Each structure stands twice: as structure tokens, then as C-alpha cells.
Chain A
Amino acid sequence: DAGITQSPRYKITETGRQVTLMCHQTWSHSYMFWYRQDLGHGLRLIYYSAAADITDKGEVPDGYVVSRSKTENFPLTLESATRSQTSVYFCASSPGTGTDTQYFGPGTRLTVL
């Protein structure tokens, strides 16, 4: 089915473990984004990518790594998870910049114990 998907939808891990959250879109959108959503904060941008092999930091990139070897995939890795990374993570995609609408995935709820 076309669209933007995230996996897993729920994840519980322990402090210090590496975790990878997957994001896949079928529209061949150029831009992809990773956000985290926490109580009391709006969605905050972690990393974004303008095209395959092009990534850039957002507002809160520390502790996260991204890659984009293929246009349709944009995985987010927490190299050594910390409790402060407990959050809901949303992936989004957009055909381009400027005034383009972003399309959001369903989110991944991550708990770090």
C-alpha cells in the first residue's frame, strides 16, 4: 500500500543499547524528516534529508545518526539510547521545499528504561 510507514510502532529498550527506527515512503519524495514529540514541546526536528546521500542536522540532533542510501528509506539510529530519548518519533516526507506539504508516518513510541 502506498504511503509512509514506520517500524516498529512500539519499542522498549534499555539504556546504552543501539536502536534503529525505520521509515519508508513509496512516493519518491525528495525530502524526508525525523521529528520527536514530547509533552510540553512542539514537534522538534532531529534530522532531515533533501535527497539520497544528503542529510542535515535539525534542532535536536545529539545522540542520533541517520543515513539515506535510497530515496525511499530514512532510518534513524540511537547509537547508545538514554532515558531522555524516550519519546514519540515521527517520520515525514515532502516532495520538495518551499511551501510543500509534509506527510507524516504513524509514529514510533520509544521507551528507554
Chain B
Amino acid sequence: KNEVEQSPQNLTAQEGEFITINCSYSVGISALHWLQQHPGGGIVSLFMLSSGKKKHGRLIATINIQEKHSSLHITASHPRDSAVYICAVRGNEKLTFGTGTRLTIIP
């Protein structure tokens, strides 16, 4: 069993829909990261959180440490949000990554 599980693996939605991507992990962590990988391959960090909730524009990330679960939400989704979203958990010095959720937003 992978230490980090993401669901769904693939998600297609219409523009404007509310999007939720889930991440569950099985180990103790010091922080959880959400990253975005664009179709061109570049990877950027969206959020880093260790408790509660963070918001940046239309993106919201939440984490429940007791349940070992995090969610990434996108409100009013747009075709430019189409990307692979990756969850990663931090133990000591290293990150362990999920396999990603491929999101496609149709105009």
C-alpha cells in the first residue's frame, strides 16, 4: 500500500464546477504539500500546510491530521486549471508523493 493515496486519479468537469481532490496518507507527517504540474511538465508548489485550512484565490486546501486526510478544492473551475495535482507528505527531510490527479476542465 502506498503511503500517499490520491483520489480520483482522473477528473473531468465542466467549467465553473466546484472541484475536490482528496489525499490520504498512512504515516505521521510534519506537513503536507499540494503541487500543480502543468501539461508542459513544470511543477509548482500551491500550498504547504500542517493544520487547518489555507486559501489562495480560488484554491482552498484543508487537512485533518487525526484522520490523515487532506482535500484540495477549486471553486469556479476554469480550463486553465487543467493540470495534474500532486499531494506530498513530509516526514523528516524528505517528501513522499502521491501519483497525482489529472484534472481536465472543459469549456
Contact = CB atoms under 8 A, between A and B. Distances in A.
A98 B30 contact: yes
B48 A42 contact: no
Contacts, number: 54
The 5 closest A-B pairs by CB, nearest first: A42-B97, A104-B43, A99-B31, A43-B97, A101-B45
Given A48-B94, A98-B31, A90 B50 contact: no
Nearest to A58: B94
A48 B90 CA distance: 14
B66 interface: no
Interface of B: 2, 4, 30-31, 33, 35, 41-45, 48, 50, 86, 88, 90, 92-100
A68 B27 CA distance: 30
Nearest to A97: B93
Contacts of A40: 99
A3 to B, nearest CB: 11
Given A97-B92, A100-B48, 13 more contacts: A31-B93, A33-B94, A40-B99, A42-B2, A42-B86, A42-B96, A42-B99, A45-B94, A101-B33, A102-B45, A102-B95, A104-B35, A104-B43
Interface string A41-70: 111110010100000001000000000000
B93 A48 contact: yes
Nearest to A39: B99
